Amino acid sequence: MKKSLGANTLAQPTPVWLVGSYDAAGKPNIMTIAWGGICCSKPPCLTVSLRKERHTYPAILARGGFTISVPSQDLVRQADYAGMVSGANADKFAAAGLTAVKSELVDAPYVDECPLVIECRLFKTVDLGAHTQFVGEILDVKAEESVLGEDGHMDLELLRPLIYSPGASRYYAVGSVVAKGFSVGKEIGG
Amino acid sequence: MKKSLGANTLAQPTPVWLVGSYDAAGKPNIMTIAWGGICCSKPPCLTVSLRKERHTYPAILARGGFTISVPSQDLVRQADYAGMVSGANADKFAAAGLTAVKSELVDAPYVDECPLVIECRLFKTVDLGAHTQFVGEILDVKAEESVLGEDGHMDLELLRPLIYSPGASRYYAVGSVVAKGFSVGKEIGG
């Protein structure tokens, strides 16, 4: 029996991404978001949603780009911190003991300690209400070789990204492989 | 040492959602997507990206709404199948042994066997290139009581949603709780 939970943002699962930018003073900053995802294959784009009052909001508009750093499970404290505190009041890189690396492709920093980083040029903004979508065209994806499997692809059991669950506000680990895509469905058809 | 993987849609992790719609003939249909996420808190919205050539594309435009059904790990074959085969050529509900339930809030069906469903009114479309974003305003979220924990929130260890990993095209399970959000970060500050 299904129970109504109301008109809420309770979709599952959501990612945990650190959005990197330089603020007006040139200080590197990160903010943690769960409202985002891939949104287009060609051009390759992802989207992150920010409230207008966030310190990162004018930073992305001013510099025309941003980065996504995907923290591993070991960085859960840093990720949670970067989602609670504003870069207007803190040097989050310094406080969290993280290293800012200037992207060579966009005018934004990424987090060296994160095993996966994505460099994005601001492609489009879409105002939706409380949040504005920043659609970024992916210019490059960089991953630590240690998170690539023998097939050359990222292996989530090595990457160990965090999963965020809205509602409960809990971070989860990724478990083991359930199945190969475009494969097990053939047992039904296609 | 980070290795460049190029300008590709390799963000991690992504969700596995079944988008439900009625086609022009009134046939219930689902398609599986990983390009999507929550995108606004007020109004509560999520976004899914579809290619124009998909059978679901005109269906959502014609009926002005869609549903998201979140499959549990046990439905991985059905989810993989619904991402490979077009509703133009198959009755996917029948082939996959799934039950279509007509939403009372939007003109679209959801999958009864899925423990979490979200009913969305089409709020905005955003053409990005190969994909168009369908932004849906969430009118209700419905979950099986069996996936709610003692605190009333969804428990991902009970919901057991799938995680999709682009690149490797693998489905993963969700693991155990790593930390409570807006909590562990306080050890750093905030």
| Predicted local confidence at residue A136, as pLDDT | 98
Task: Please judge whether A186 and B116 are an interchain contact, meaning their C-beta atoms are less than 8 angstroms apart.
Answer: no
Give the ipTM of the model, two decimals please: 0.97
Percent of chain A with pLDDT over 70: 100
State residue A31's pLDDT score.
98
d(CA A168, CA A153): 32
Q: How many CB pairs under 8 A join A and B?
A: 387
- Residues of chain B contacting residue A170, judged by C-beta atoms under 8 Å apart: 156, 177-181
Closest-CA residue to A134 (of A17, A24, A12, A27): A17
Q: Which residue of B has its CA nearest to A123?
A: B128
Q: Which of A71, A29, A145, A92 is nearest to B178 (CA)?
A: A71
- The predicted pLDDT at position A98 comes to 98
Look at A183 and B13 and tell me if their CB atoms are within 8 Å. Answer: no
Q: Given an 8 Å threshold on Cβ–Cβ distance, is A96 in contact with B188?
A: yes
Contact check, Cβ <8 Å, B84/A185: yes
Task: Give mean pLDDT, residues B56-85.
Answer: 98
pLDDT confidence of residue B177: 98
Average pLDDT over residues A36-50: 98
Burial degree of A190 (CB within 10 A; 0-12, 13-18, 19+): middle
Residues A130, B190: C-beta atoms closer than 8 Å: no
Concatenating the DSSP letter of every residue in A55-80 gives THHHHHHHHTEEEEEE-BGGGHHHHH
Query: What does the pLDDT read at residue A1?
Result: 86
Residue A173 pLDDT level (bands cut at 50, 70, 90):
very high
Q: Are B151 and A168 spatial neighbours (Cβ–Cβ below 8 Å)? A: yes
Quick one: DSSP state of residue B148? B
pLDDT tens per residue across span B165-182: 999 999 999 999 999 999
Residues 6+ positions from A105 with CB-CB distance below 8 Å = A65, A119, A121, A139, A140
- Residue A190 is predicted with a pLDDT of 77
Assign B1 a pLDDT band (cuts: 50, 70, 90). Answer: confident
Query: What whole-number percentage of chain B has pLDDT above 90?
Result: 98
Average pLDDT over residues A29-38: 98
pTM score of the predicted model: 0.98
Say how far apart CA B172 and CA A158 lie, in whole Å.
12
Backbone angle region of B81, left / alpha / beta, with phi > 0 → left and psi within -120 to 50 → alpha: alpha
Is-contact A103 A119, C-beta < 8 A?
yes
Question: Nearest residue of B to residue A45 by CA position?
Answer: B9
Question: DSSP H helical segments within chain A, as ranges?
Answer: 56-63, 76-84, 92-96, 156-159
pLDDT score for B164: 98
Length of chain A: 190
Q: Is the pLDDT of residue B190 over 90?
A: no
| CA-atom Rg of chain B in angstroms | 17
Whole-number pLDDT of residue B103: 98
Structure-token pair, residue B101: 């339930």
Examine the pLDDT at A91 and tell me if it is beyond 80. yes
- Mean pLDDT over A115-130 rounds to 98
Predicted confidence (pLDDT) at residue B184 exceeds the cutoff of 80: yes
Bridge partner residues of B154 (DSSP):
B148
Question: What is the rounded CA–CA span in Å between residue A73 and residue A163?
Answer: 9
Mean pLDDT, residues B124-141 taken together: 98
